Structure 1
């Protein structure tokens, strides 16, 4: 099973995000202007925004603000990243909106090359650029007149948990980080699921990716594996391993489906991850605090457990009883928002 899981992870793992119901119904309810997988809260103000990262790629984001906000004052702010392969209209949007209900200015953004953000070719994945995209969010928020630039934190879900930590290792403007269902994409791509990849398997994988680069060059476009269906489906295909089945349940079915959430990234994107550690300097985030959140039944627990061990104080680990990996995307009855609010209120005071 390990080999099958590794192959499936490398092809399909680039996926994660969040939501809850019929996009069409919400769009109709909101005069075709609301395209999220969750309802707009009556406690927030929503605004679509865009801004460049340092590579000149224009990022698209949804900004959520408390409805009773006084723009003559300054507020704490949060940059929220999507699950790997997800878009801001899913889980990241749920986190950003909920934290705005609790007094924070928050943006949920699409990573470069994905969703509504710019960048060509489409669906590239880059550990360096995805980490940079968190810092670009800090650039944007810190120049809003109603945001206190000394009180900006980050939330990373799934794959973006690793990217948020990577950004914080060098960007001192990120004063606190919280991760939920964190995935270390560099580790899983280089070492395989639960570090089970042998040296021979890694060499074979990298050799195949090198060959694919020649094919991409000759074709004039990178190979993009088949993604999730463009329309939500009602069942999980037979034969999927348990991890892929869980992702399918979220991304391909009505629970979290969004047409811009393709899933897999271009095949040769994996070369960069195999050469780019994400958490090698996690200890240097201290004395800025980190909150790690994981589900009791999450298949991804080992990423969070190992990151927690490697991080220095102040740090905290919250285990959500009964929660699987994807449950921390959209299950608002399971996501510990009270804890997130208390953590960032203290860290960004």
Structure 2
């Protein structure tokens, strides 16, 4: 693995480049960009899958989103879907410049919110030849409709009212408000996926100092306005693989997306897995990789 940097509209992006066993700069390899979940960093699940796929013969790149992790960009802790989609394109830019990467065989893998960003980037970047996803969600839908898809419109509008008030306050000199991506504490009322997300991000299981569970509250306006799968029926012509857990509370998102896609597509269900189980639990990661490796081998 090599630490690398590349640029995105003047922002310096930080990435980890994983190389296959027996790597030689004289050879030509297919390559995959690995896109982390909202609030994640490259050293967590995106890096784990990048490492797994590098062992399968791919050059893989996991990177930190702009405004987050080791990447540049101000303000910090911004979750801006437009920037995150552009991050994916910039990562493809970087891979395409490497002499040992076949620029005609580049794919993208996205995890959780990173899956929505990966699909959205693939729809409008014809250099991406295939897109794989793990526990896929559209972050816009997840915030507007709630994790289970039942958030009433009145509560959505109330949230936007609060964001508007905060923007006005910050314009007048108030401090920014930070909110967590996942719960800082859990109890018996916590949604199971969110309880496991807490365990993943906020305990030694996968906690990382640069994944600090901090998001600007005003980011929510950008997130609400984002529809990762808008025009997927016509613009996504590349093959799509979705891997999701049978017990994931987010499974409805993959199930609703599947019939909308007109390109070669597959929804692979991992029995017994939840949303976050697929991030790092070895038996589930191995099953997910067993779907991803032949998919990318076939289409790249």
**What range is the shorter-chain TM-score in?**
over 0.9
Tell me the equivalent position of 2:25. Answer: 71
Q: Determine if the alignment matches structure 1 residue 47 to structure 2 residue 2.
A: yes
Alignment of structure 1 residues 89-104 onto 2, 5 Å? 89-104=43-58
| 269-278 or 161-170: bigger deviation | 269-278
Where does residue 274 of structure 1 map in the other structure? 224
CA distance, structure 2, for counterparts of residue 228 and residue 204 of structure 1: 20
CA distance in structure 2 between the partners assigned to 1:322 and 1:277 by the alignment:
29
Tell me the alpha carbon deviations over residues 76-104 of structure 1, each in whole angstroms, 9 at most, x when there is no partner: 00000111111001000100011111100
SS at match of 1:195: coil
- Residue aligning to 2:177: 223
The answer to whether residue 292 in structure 2 is matched with residue 337 in structure 1 is: no
- In structure 2, runs of 5+ residues without a counterpart are none
- TM normalised by structure 1 equals 0.81
1:346 is matched with: 298
The alignment's C-alpha RMSD in Å is 1.8
Moved more, 252-261 or 153-162: 252-261
Give the counterpart of 2:263 among 302, 313, 330: 313
SS in 2 for 1:247: helix
2:241 corresponds, among 274, 291, 299, to 291
How many residues are matched?
297
Query: Does the 8 Å CA contact 2:35/2:109 hold for their aligned counterparts?
Result: yes
- Following superposition, the deviation at residue 164 of structure 1 comes to 0.3
Deviations along 1:119-158, one digit per CA (max 9) or x if unpaired, are 1111100111101111111000000000000000000000
Return the offset for 1:244.
2.6
The whole-number CA distance in structure 2 between the counterparts of 1:248 and 1:240 is 13
Unaligned runs of 5+ in 1: 1-45
C-alpha change, 1:328 and 1:211, in structure 2 (3 Å) is same
TM-score (norm 2): 0.94
SS of equivalent to 1:59: strand
Spell out, residue by residue over 1:212-271, the C-alpha distance to the aligned partner (whole angstroms, 9 max, x if none).
001222336531125789xxx9xx643551243121111111111111112241001010
d(CA) in 2 for partners of 1:178, 1:214: 40
Instruction: Give yes or no for the alignment of 1:156 onto 2:110.
Output: yes
For residues 220 and 51 of structure 1, the distance between their equivalents in structure 2, rounded to whole angstroms, comes to 34
CA distance in 1, matches of 2:236, 2:273: 28
User: CA 1:320/1:239 → structure 2, altered by over 3 Å: closer, same or farther?
Assistant: closer
SS at the partner of 1:60? strand
Contact 2:182 2:197 in 1 (8 A): no
Instruction: Report if the CA contact (8 A) 2:122-2:238 is conserved.
Output: no
The answer on whether the counterparts of 2:182 and 2:194 sit within 8 Å (CA) in structure 1 is: no
CA deviations on 1:23-64 (whole Å, 9 max, x unpaired) are xxxxxxxxxxxxxxxxxxxxxxx10001111x2211100000
| 1:110 counterpart residue number | 64
